[in-house]
Structure 1
């Protein structure tokens, strides 16, 4: 099994090295983190010119730029690699090799979660809006983010026939991943929980709860279970279409 996993890893590195688009997208989380350095001067400007205090919205900004944004870009990386594998008939070839059929989806899930945990955690540490004190909530939240990013990649691979269609899918998913989950921040009503049907609602909700000093574990657990089930369903669909 270890040799099979290593072979998958070498294939990923080969795909990334020869595709400049993948290299650029991988930098996405750090670009988001870098943009968060503009929040402090923007806060001062708005306070000075318009007497508007941006500080209460910092958890919203963190959830958008350091949690949800990287999910979209890293999910796109996962999807593009899967589409490359489909083009090379890698998935179909697994049916006639000694490799266990579950080895590829297990590798893809584990690797994607690790990549998201490492990159999102690094982005959170780099940002001036957060720091080492936030690791207690950042690590479990990034695991949920990793599951969701995997789901995004699987959606791209299951519904798109090539990279062009895959990018169109990720653009359509962008609204669901990046924008709609932020609406409950402005909804002071139990109805805000209706947004829980969105898989990306849960990492955002956990971030808000953690930064408010509330218990974030319920949102983390629900998000992990929900996105884990979603990944399982999508893996099954991808396998039937390979």
Structure 2
């Protein structure tokens, strides 16, 4: 299996190098980090001086949107589009008659996308300057949960889009998941659970609680179970279309 994963990794690197959009996905988190680190303090000072609004209290929300939600979304899009390319090229059909199974390919896609997302989240979060380095250990569980949104996005694209053009249309709906979970930040705690149908809500909530040194275990548990359920259901839908 490791040999197969290595071979698939080499193929993916070649595919990413040929696609400017995929290259942009890999680079964009670092551009976001630069923006947040360099521009956000200036914008906060301007907002404070002009309107008396200090944005520091919203730094957890801003970090969750740009890092905890956006990074898994981007890597999910990359993995999903690679899968769509493989279906268009009939690679998935060919894999059926080789030792490597479609399920093995999906396992590779899920693991690589998930690992990349978590690594990027943990590296980018403190580098933004919006979250102190001493908080990184506290937010690791939330980052591990946030990474599970990557295979959810990948499988959503694979299950509901037949090509990249349709994939962009599906992404409009997926984008709602990011916006919807961010809205929960402004809702009182007893009503926040209504946002639980949105898979990204659970990692966002766990992240906000971790920054405030509050217990987030129940949100982490529900989030893991919910996202795993979505992954299984989406995978079954995709397999039925092959």
User: Which TM-score band applies after superposition, normalised by the shorter structure?
Assistant: over 0.9
* Length-normalised TM-score, structure 2: 0.93
- TM-superposed CA distance for 1:166, in Å, is 0.8
Q: What is the SS of the residue equivalent to 2:96?
A: helix
For 1:25, the equivalent position in structure 2 comes to 25
What does the per-residue CA deviation read over 1:206-241, in whole Å, with 9 as the maximum and x for residues that have no partner?
111011111123222221221122112212222222
Is the aligned partner of 1:83 residue 2:84? yes
- TM-superposed CA distance for 1:101, in Å, is 4.4
Contact preservation (8 Å) 2:145, 2:224 = yes
What does the per-residue CA deviation read over 1:98-153, in whole Å, with 9 as the maximum and x for residues that have no partner?
22443112111111111101111121131111243122233322222221111101
Is the aligned partner of 1:39 residue 2:37? no
Gaps of 5+ in 1: none
- TM-superposed CA distance for 1:30, in Å, is 1.8
CA distance in structure 1 between the partners assigned to 2:83 and 2:139 by the alignment: 27
CA distance in structure 1 between the partners assigned to 2:63 and 2:30 by the alignment: 13
Which shifted more, 94-103 or 140-149? 94-103
* Length-normalised TM-score, structure 1: 0.93
- TM-superposed CA distance for 1:39, in Å, is 2.0
Contact preservation (8 Å) 2:92, 2:102 = no
What does the per-residue CA deviation read over 1:184-216, in whole Å, with 9 as the maximum and x for residues that have no partner?
211114121110111010111011101111112
CA distance in structure 1 between the partners assigned to 2:126 and 2:28 by the alignment: 15
For 1:74, the equivalent position in structure 2 comes to 75
For 1:170, the equivalent position in structure 2 comes to 171
Contact preservation (8 Å) 1:32, 1:70 = no
Gaps of 5+ in 2: none
- TM-superposed CA distance for 1:67, in Å, is 0.8
Which shifted more, 141-150 or 92-101? 92-101
Q: What is the SS of the residue equivalent to 1:200?
A: helix
